[in-house]
C-alpha cells in the first residue's frame, strides 16, 4: 500500500452524504460504510478530524427563508450536526476506531467542549475527532467550520466528500451534459466564477491560510484512502497556481 501523502486531514461530510438515497435522516448503511473507510485510513497512521453538516435533519437557511429568526434557525442546525456526529461516532466505535466528539456549544453529557490542544492530542493518539455544532455561532456554515478547524489544528488538507458528484464542474453535470470537470482550480477561480464549492467565507479562509481542498465522491469503495494516497480522483483547489 502506497504511503499517505497527507498525515493530518479534515474530512468535511455534508448531512446529505449521511442520508444516502432516502435524502433525509441518517442511513445506517451509508454511515457504516464511511466508518469502514475511515478505519482503513486510521490504520495508515493518518490523523483524521471530521466536520459534519446537518442538512439531512435541518437547514438553518431553509428555516430562515420561511420566516424563522435566522439565529434561532442556525442554532437548530448546529444541534442537527451533533446528532449526526454522535451517529458517526457510534459507527466508528463499532468498527473499533476510537473517537471523540467535540462541540462548540457545551453539552458535557454527550460530548467534550471544543478545546484546540485537546483535539490535537486526541489526533496524536490515533483518535478520530469529530467537530460538531459548527463554529458555535449563527451565520457561519459548516464549510467555514471545516476551514477554521483545519487552520487551527494545522491540517495538511481538507477533503470535501460528495455523494452525487466526483469533483468540481463548470455547471451542474446532472442538468448540463456539456459540463466540464476541473482537475485543479485556485480559490480565486472558485470565488470569481461562483462555482459553489464552498461559501465565500470558507474559500477566503482557506486561501488566506494556504489550505488545499480536494472535492471527491465518497461513494466509491476506498475513495478516502485513494485521495490520501494522492490519486487524482477529484478536483484539487489550491491557494496558488
54 belongs to an annotated ligand binding site: yes
Check the CA dihedral 18-205-103-59 and report its sign. Answer: negative
The CA distances from residue 47 to 19, 25, 72, 127, in Å, are: 25, 28, 34, 8
Contacts of 67 (CB under 8 A, 6+ apart): none
- Cell 488566506 appears where? 208
**CA 7 to chain centroid:** 17
To the question of whether residue 135 is assigned a binding role by annotation, the answer is: yes
Taking Cα atoms as reference points, which of 197, 111, 117 lies closest to residue 158? 197
209 annotated to bind ligand: no
Q: Is 139 annotated as a binding residue?
A: yes
pLDDT tens-digit readout, 15-32? 888 888 877 899 999 999
DSSP 162-207: ESS-SSEESS-TTT-TT--EESEEEHHHHHHHT--SS-HHHHHHHH
Mean pLDDT throughout 205-233?
A: 90
By the 8 A CB rule, do 153 and 49 touch? yes
Per the CB < 8 A criterion, the answer to whether 191 and 131 are in contact is no
Say if residue 74 carries a ligand binding annotation. yes
Task: Write down the mean pLDDT value for the chain.
Answer: 91
Residue 130: strand pairing partners = 50, 101
User: Is there a binding annotation on residue 113?
Assistant: no
138 is in an annotated binding site: yes
Residue 1's pLDDT is 62
216 is in an annotated binding site: no
Tens digit of each residue's pLDDT (9 = 90 or more) over 113-148: 999 999 999 999 999 999 999 999 999 999 999 999
Amino acid at each position: 500500500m502506497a504511503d499517505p501523502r497527507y498525515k493530518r486531514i479534515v474530512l468535511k461530510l455534508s448531512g446529505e452524504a449521511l442520508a444516502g438515497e432516502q435524502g433525509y435522516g441518517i442511513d445506517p448503511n451509508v454511515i457504516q460504510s464511511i466508518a469502514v473507510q475511515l478505519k482503513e485510513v486510521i490504520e495508515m497512521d493518518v490523523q483524521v478530524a471530521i466536520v459534519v453538516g446537518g442538512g439531512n435533519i435541518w437547514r438553518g437557511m431553509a428555516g430562515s427563508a420561511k420566516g424563522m429568526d435566522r439565529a434561532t434557525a442556525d442554532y437548530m442546525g448546529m444541534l442537527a450536526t451533533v446528532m449526526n456526529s454522535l451517529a458517526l461516532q457510534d459507527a466508528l466505535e463499532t468498527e473499533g476506531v476510537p473517537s471523540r466528539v467535540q462541540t462548540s456549544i457545551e453539552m458535557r453529557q454527550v460530548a467534550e467542549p471544543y478545546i484546540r490542544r485537546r483535539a490535537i492530542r486526541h489526533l496524536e493518539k490515533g483518535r478520530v475527532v469529530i467537530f460538531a455544532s459548527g463554529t458555535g455561532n449563527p451565520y457561519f456554515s459548516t464549510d467555514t467550520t471545516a476551514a477554521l478547524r483545519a487552520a487551527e489544528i494545522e491540517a495538511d488538507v481538507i477533503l470535501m466528500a460528495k455523494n452525487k458528484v466526483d469533483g468540481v464542474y463548470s455547471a451542474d453535470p446532472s442538468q448540463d451534459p456539456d459540463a466540464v470537470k476541473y482537475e485543479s482550480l485556485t480559490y480565486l477561480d472558485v470565488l470569481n466564477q461562483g462555482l459553489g464549492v464552498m461559501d465565500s467565507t470558507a474559500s477566503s479562509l482557506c486561501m488566506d491560510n494556504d489550505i488545499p481542498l480536494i472535492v471527491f465522491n465518497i461513494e466509491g469503495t476506498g475513495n478516502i484512502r485513494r485521495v490520501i494516497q494522492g490519486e487524482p480522483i477529484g478536483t484539487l483547489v489550491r491557494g496558488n497556481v
